[in-house]
Amino acid sequence: MTADAAIKPESGRRLHRLHPFSSLTAHEIVTAATIVRQNAGLRHLVDADSVVTKAITLLEPPKHLMVQYLDIEHGDTLQDERFTIPRRAEVQYCIKGTTQMYTSVVCLALAQESSQVTEPKHHQGIMDPIEHAVFFDVVGSSPEWAAAVSSLGLPADVELSYEPWPYGADKDTGPNPPRYIRGVAYARGLSGSHPETNKFSFPLPLCPVVDVAKKAVVRIDPMPTDGIANERISSPSSGPNWTTGTALDGCQPNDYHPDLLPPSRQDLRPLHLVQPEGVSFTVTDGSLVEWQKWQFRVRFDFREGIVLHDVRYDDRSLFYRLSLSEMTVPYADPRSPYHVKQGFDLGDAGAGAVANSLRLGCDCLGSIYYFDGVVNTMEGGAITIPNAICLHEEDGGVLWKHTNDKTKAAVSARSRVLVIQTTMTLGNYDYILAWRFDQAAGITYEVSATGIVSTNLIDPGTSSRWGTVVSPRALAQNHQHLFCVRLDPAIDGYQNSVQVEESVPLPLDDEVNIYGNAWEVKKRHIEKSGFEDADPLCNRTFKIVNETKINSISGNPTGYKIIAPPSQMLLAHPSSVAAKRAKFAQHHLWVSKYRDGDLWAGGKFTTNSYEETDGLSSYVARAENVRNDDLVVWVTMGITHIPRVEDFPVMPTEKLRLTLKPADFFSRNPAIDVPTNVQNLPSRHAMAAGA
Ligand SMILES: [Cu+2]
C-alpha cells in the first residue's frame, strides 16, 4: 500500500478517535516501532533487537486534507458526518553499530508500514543514548585514555565527566565525516564529592575521540589552552585545592547548587499567585486549549518539542501551525578541534527528546496544567516525560490605560497572558521555550537561554581573543545562538501574502516636503520564495496579510505584523562548513511556498552535516509564487553571546522574543472588552505612607 492510499478520507465510521493533531501516544509509538523493527529485521537480515529506532514522530496529514477536516470541525457539520484521517508515524531507524539511516512511514490505523526509504549516506541520525553508553564504556576502560589522564597529574581518585559532541564535518572531512564522538572532558571532583559539583569549572586539556562502532578510542586530541599573557588576571584568591600541582592548577570550584553555596539571602518574603476561582482556560480532547477568545491544539513532538496547530482567535483562523524549526550554536574559536563546535539542538538531539519534567512553583508559578510528553526509546519502546509542557496564566502588566486629562478619571485593564512552555536541556545549556498568548490577540514566542556556558581550559594568567575567562582557568568561548521559528499562517484563510513596509524620509522639495518633516511608508509584496533581511534604519516591517480580506476601517488587508529583533546573523565565513550547514541562520526572514514535509530549517538530518541541502535554503530555491498563496514564513533571530563573568556558574536567563501582532485585523482594540477589575483579592499598599 502506498502512503497516499493509507490516508484517503473515509466518510462515516471513525477509524481512530484521536484528533489528527494529537501527540503520538505511547501505544502508537510502540506500534510503529514494533512494525518497523519486525520489517526492518527481515529486510536487513538482522534480529529485530538490532534495529535502533532513532526518532518516531507524527507524520501529519497532508494539509489539503487537514484543511477540509478543520473546515468541517469548525463548521456546523454534525460529528458523525466528519471524515477521518488515519494517523501515521514516521520512524527514523538504523541498524545498531552502523550509520546508514532509513525512514519508514507506518499507517497506525492499519498497523502497516506504508513506505520505506534508504537515506543518502550523508544523512546521519541523532547521536543516541546507545552510542553515548558505548562512548562512556570505551573511555572508562581505555588504557590509552587512562594514561593520558595520568599525565595531567590529577589525584588518583579524580572523577571525570564528559560532554559527548558529534565529531563534526569540516573542509577536510568532506560530506561524510566519521561518526566518532568527541568526549569534551571535565574533572567533576574527587571521589565522594557532591554529585552536583559544577564540572565546567574544571575543563581538561585533552579530549578522547571514540569510534562507537568499533568501540575504540581513535585518538586523544589536545585541547588548545594557549592565551595572551594578561597581567590583570590575578591569581585565584581561594587558595590551593585538589588541582594544585596538576595540569588544572588554579581552577577553582564555582558552584550553583544550593548544597554547595553559602546560605542564600534571607530577606525575601513569599509572593503567591492565587487564582481563587481556578484558571480561565480549559483543555479538552487531550490537546484542545481554549482561553478567552483563543483556541489552538497543542502537540508534543520528539524533535520540535511544542507544536501548536490550528491557532484561532474569536473563531477566525490565524495560524495553521507554529513551531521552532531549528536552532544552531556555532562557536568562534578557530583552534582545532574547537572549529567544529556547533550544535543543532533539534536536529542533533530533539527538543522533545531532551525536555525536562517541569516542577510546580519553580518552572511555573500559580495554577498549572501539565501535559506529559511521550517519546520513543532507541529500543522501540515509549517513555513518558511527566509534566513536559506546562500551561498557565500570568499577569502581564498593564494591558491598556488612559487617564482623562480633564476629569482625571483613569481607566485601565490588567493584562493576562496564557503561557505554554517547555524546557530543554542539552549538555551545558538549558532553553525555556514559551508561546505567550495575550488578550490583544498577540502571540509572542520567547526563548530564555540559561544553563552553563561551555568552557575549555586556558593557561594561567592569560586571556583569549576567542572568549572570556569566566572562572579561574575556564574560558567560555564566544558563540551565537540562532533560532529559526516556523510560522505557517492562515490569516483569515490559507491564501496569504507577505507585505514589506519601510518608513522612509521624503526629499526636501517645494511641493510636498516643504518643511522637511515628511516621511512615508513604502509598501511592497514578496512575490517569489526567498529571503529578506531586517533593516531597523528604515523600520523594515513584515506583515502576513490576506489581500482578499479588507479591513473596512482602514481599507487595508487584514494582517499580522511580525516583530522580531534585528539580530546579528551567523558570523562564520560563508564558505565555511559552519555557515553552509546553517544557511537559515544567514537571513532574518524567509518565505517559502507550502509543501507537506518542508519543516526543517537546517535540513532533516543535521548531525555531522556538511551542507544544508534539504532545508530552508532548498525550499526557497524553488523560486515559487508566494503571493496570495499558501506560504510559510521563517524567522531567524539570535544572540551573539560574548560570555560575561556573570554568566557563570549558571547564566541568568537571556531572553529573545518574536511577537505576532494583529495589524488591521480587527475593527478596534480587541482588548477593549477586557474587564477593568477582575481581582477578587485587591492589591494593597506595600508600606504605610511615609514608611
Ligand atoms: Cu550562549
Domain of 111, CATH number, reads 3.10.450.40
DSSP 263: P
Please report whether residue 621 resides in a domain.
yes
Residues 530 and 578 in one domain: yes
477 C-alpha to ligand 1 centroid (Å): 9
| Closest among 321, 300, 299, 301 to 310, alpha carbons compared | 321
Question: Which residue has cell 552536583?
Answer: 196
| Helix-, strand-, coil-residue percentages of the chain, each rounded to 5 | 15, 40, 45
* CB burial readout 606-640, b (16+ within 10 A) else e: bbbbbbbbbbbbebbeeebebbebbbbbbbbbbbe
Please report whether residue 216 resides in a domain.
yes
Please report whether residue 684 resides in a domain.
no
Which residues keep their CB under 5 angstroms from ion ligand 1? 641
Give pLDDT, residue 361.
72
Structural domains counted in the chain: 3
- Asked if the model's pLDDT at residue 634 lies above 70, the reply is yes
Which value, to the nearest 10 degrees, does the dihedral of the CA atoms of residues 314, 317, 320, 326 take? -60
- The percent of residues above 90 in pLDDT, for the chain, comes to 89
CA 25, 80, 113: angle at the middle one, nearest 5?
A: 40
Please report whether residue 354 resides in a domain.
yes
Please report whether residue 177 resides in a domain.
yes
Residues 204 and 104 in one domain: no
Residues 219 and 354 in one domain: no
Residues 100 and 135 in one domain: no
Q: Pairing between strand 631-641 and 479-489?
A: antiparallel
Residues 360 and 247 in one domain: no
Residues 487 and 621 in one domain: yes
Give the whole-angstrom CA distance, residue 210 versus residue 226: 25
Give pLDDT, residue 83.
74
487 C-alpha to ligand 1 centroid (Å): 25
102 is catalytic: no
Which value, to the nearest 10 degrees, does the dihedral of the CA atoms of residues 289, 638, 609, 426 take? -60
Q: Among residues 94, 118, 142, which one ends one of the domains?
A: 118
Please report whether residue 190 resides in a domain.
yes
Residues 111 and 136 in one domain: no
Residues 94 and 138 in one domain: no
429 is catalytic: yes
DSSP 629: B
126 C-alpha to ligand 1 centroid (Å): 22
Q: Among residues 72, 88, 118, which one ends one of the domains?
A: 118
- Asked if the model's pLDDT at residue 304 lies above 50, the reply is yes
Please report whether residue 467 resides in a domain.
no
173 C-alpha to ligand 1 centroid (Å): 27
Residues 288 and 360 in one domain: yes
pLDDT digits (tens, 9 = 90+) for 191-212: 999 999 999 999 999 999 999 9
pLDDT digits (tens, 9 = 90+) for 103-150: 999 999 999 999 999 999 999 999 999 999 999 999 999 999 999 999
168 C-alpha to ligand 1 centroid (Å): 19
Cβ(26)–Cβ(18) under 8 Å?
no
- Asked if the model's pLDDT at residue 580 lies above 90, the reply is yes
Please report which confidence band the pLDDT of residue 300 belongs to, taking 50, 70 and 90 as the band edges. Answer: very high
Residues 178 and 53 in one domain: no
Give the whole-angstrom CA distance, residue 340 versus residue 338: 5
Residues 113 and 149 in one domain: no
Helix (H) or strand (E) holding 148: helix 143-150
Cβ(54)–Cβ(95) under 8 Å?
no
CATH code: domain of residue 629: 2.70.98.20
Which range marks the domain in which residue 43 is found? Answer: 5-118
- Asked if the model's pLDDT at residue 77 lies above 90, the reply is no
Give the whole-angstrom CA distance, residue 211 versus residue 131: 10
- Asked if the model's pLDDT at residue 258 lies above 90, the reply is yes
- Asked if the model's pLDDT at residue 588 lies above 50, the reply is yes
Entry field: residues in the chain: 691
Q: Per-residue pLDDT averaged across 77-104, rounded? A: 86
Q: Among residues 80, 96, 118, which one ends one of the domains?
A: 118
Please report which confidence band the pLDDT of residue 15 belongs to, taking 50, 70 and 90 as the band edges. Answer: very low
Concatenating the DSSP letter of every residue in 514-538 gives: SSS--EEEEEEE--BSEEE---GGG
Residue of 69, 313, 338, 429 with catalytic role: 429
257 C-alpha to ligand 1 centroid (Å): 20
Q: Per-residue pLDDT averaged across 610-614, rounded? A: 92
- Asked if the model's pLDDT at residue 190 lies above 50, the reply is yes
507 C-alpha to ligand 1 centroid (Å): 43
Give the whole-angstrom CA distance, residue 96 versus residue 53: 10
pLDDT digits (tens, 9 = 90+) for 463-491: 999 999 999 999 999 999 999 999 999 99
394 C-alpha to ligand 1 centroid (Å): 27
Concatenating the DSSP letter of every residue in 212-261 gives: TTTTEEEEEEEPP---EE-TTSPPPTT---TTTTSTTTT------SGGGS
199 C-alpha to ligand 1 centroid (Å): 17
Residues 380 and 520 in one domain: yes
- Asked if the model's pLDDT at residue 3 lies above 80, the reply is no
Question: Which residue has cell 497572558?
Answer: 417
Give pLDDT, residue 682.
60
* ipTM score: 0.97
pLDDT digits (tens, 9 = 90+) for 414-428: 999 999 999 999 989
Residue of 310, 333, 345, 363 with catalytic role: 345
Beta bridge partners of 175: none
343 C-alpha to ligand 1 centroid (Å): 11
